[in-house]
Amino acid sequence: MPSGLYGLCGHGGPPEQPVLLDDRCTGRCWNGMANEPRAQLRALRGPRVLTLVAVQFSIVVICMLATLLVALQVQHTSIREETGERTLAVAMSLAELPAVVDAVGEPDAGDTLQPIADLVAESAGVDYVVITDDEGIRITHPVPERRGEMVSTDPSVALGGETFVGSEVGTVGPTLRAKVPVWRDGVVVGTASVGILESSISAQLEDRIWQVVPWVIGAGLFGLACAAGVSLVLGRRFDHLAVAAQELETQRRLSAALREQTHEFSNRLHVLFGLIEVDERGEALEYIRTLTPVDSLAADPELEQALSDAPVRIRAILAAASARLCEHGGQLHADVESDDRAVLELIFDDDAATVLSNLVGNATEAVEAQGARGIVRVAVEAAPSGLRMQVDDSGPGVPEELRSQITEVGFSTKETQTMGGLAIPRGVGLGLVRRLAREHGGDLVISDSELGGARFVATLSSAGASGAGGSSEAPTAGRIAP
């Protein structure tokens, strides 16, 4: 089996089989464990924010209406109290005027008191002023026809020497009025009544309310703006918490699934080890065929010839890729060059196998859709200074604007796949290849291939391997140029 980075991607077989992770396809996505929760939250954030703002707007409107009602009640009470005090003050002042006290009860009292009543009504801003005698007969009235008639409301309180302030319905309509007695020599000789129409009070209340409304609306808008700002800030924080919680749950479930897969894969390896240990090569191959969709891992004659002197790891990786390509009608060409097979065996370690298997796996998948036109070409050059691995394919290639991003861990152009409801991690393979190459003093270079697709060149320096903690013991030299 090819050595390298394996994952649960589902490429080349059922989802439960371990296969190579790759990074190239026709779409773009982020690591399934991280990007999908963020994408879902971004999709929901707009409607959620609008709903939250709508709720806040409704609350603010309700609060504004409640404030207006309270303000209306307060202003109504205040205006009535002020109006009652004003009418009472005018009535008492009128009842204490010497001209009024002397004229009440006289035969020509109307001629004397009517001009005084009109002047007081105009100067005090009240709607009527009525003066009566000790029997409740009107001496003055704003309507001439009403003079000399009995008052329309009960005058007993004022005639009894008490003051009255309240609302009553008289000949001019509903009014808030004050009635006071007129005293002369300690005897009540009449009454003075001053009133303001309820309609005037309502108009005054309306004016007061319109003075308050702009302030209430301004305060409401300010509160709404502040609430929306706070909601946006808190929303982002809650989004981050939600993303973290979803990622944690996904990682927990994926970890459990991977533990199960690891256990199953370990069991399969034990079976293979047992078959090989008892020299049952045919049974081992047949068992492998039950686990992989390919009919055979045998390479074509040309490939066998090209790999005749290659290390077993390289043969295994390329044979598996060739079998996968043959299943779709494609071809794999390989060229392994080394001045010294022992050097190649020595420096082609686990890291080199990981790099080659990922590059070949990516190229194989890139050309699968082309069928018989799919071609993958692999060249491995070994020298005491290190390894140079070049993989060309006839696939769609890698756009130049994505070449700097495609080697970043987590970035992938493949669509997210799931296994048992879990998103499968993407964007790992090429990131790992670049990291291993740089740890070994080399690098990964991406360019256009003459086959029409992409060319990946990975170099691993023997000098860099020992410095990076690798296991290579080959002679050290300068870095191989890509």
Residue 390 pLDDT: 94
pLDDT band at 450 (very low <50, low <70, confident <90, very high): very high
Q: Tell me the CATH class for 1-17+294-482.
A: alpha beta
Query: Predicted confidence band at 22 (pLDDT cuts at 50, 70, 90)?
Result: very low
Whether the per-residue pLDDT at 286 is higher than 50: the answer is yes
> Would you kindly state where each structural domain of the chain is located, as residue ranges?
1-17+294-482, 93-199
**Residue 445, pLDDT score:** 92
DSSP 270-321: HHHHHHHHTT-HHHHHHHHHHHSS-S--PPPHHHHHHTTTS-HHHHHHHHHH
Quickly count: other Cβ atoms within 10 Å of residue 288's Cβ: 17
Q: Which residues contact 104 (CB under 8 A, 6 or more apart)?
A: 113, 131, 133, 139, 182, 184, 189, 190
Q: 366 vs 62, 137, 155, 437, CA distance in Å?
A: 61, 113, 107, 22
Closest alpha carbon to 52 in 224, 221, 182: 224
pLDDT tens digit sequence for 155-167: 888 888 899 988 8
Give the per-residue pLDDT at 181. 93
Contact, 159 vs 181, CB < 8 A?
Answer: yes
What Å distances lie between residue 449 and 322, 363, 397, 456, CA to CA? 19, 12, 8, 9
What pLDDT does 5 receive?
Answer: 34
Mean local confidence (pLDDT), 426-434: 79
Q: Which fold has domain 93-199?
A: Beta-Lactamase (3.30.450)
Section 226-237 average pLDDT: 76
The reported pLDDT for the residue numbered 427 is: 59
Q: Which two tokens stand for residue 473?
A: 């013991």
Q: Which has more pLDDT, 10 or 418?
A: 418
- The torsion angles phi and psi of 464, rounded to 5 degrees, stand at -70, -30
Average pLDDT score over residue span 56-68: 81
The one-letter code for the residue type at 114 is Q
- The answer on pLDDT for 359 being more than 90 is yes
pLDDT digits (tens, 9 = 90+) for 264-273: 888 888 888 8
Q: What is the DSSP letter of 23?
A: -
Nearest to 28 by CA among 419, 426, 400: 426
Task: Quickly state the pLDDT bin for 206 (edges 50, 70, 90).
Answer: confident
pLDDT at 234: 74
pLDDT of 392: 94
Q: For CA atoms 29, 32, 33, 36, give the dihedral sign.
A: positive
| Position 2 confidence tier, pLDDT thresholds 50, 70, 90 | very low
The enclosing H or E element of 465 equals helix 462-467
Half-sphere exposure of 292 (CA within 13 A, CB side): 24
**190, burial (CB in 10 Å: exposed 0-12, middle 13-18, buried 19+):** buried
To the nearest whole number, what is the mean pLDDT of the chain?
77
Residues 6+ apart with CB under 8 A from 470: 349, 351, 439, 440, 464
The whole-number average pLDDT for the span 161-177 is 86
Amino acid in position 335:
D
- Residue 421: the pLDDT is 55
CA-derived radius of gyration, the chain = 50
Q: Work out the average pLDDT over 71-95.
A: 86
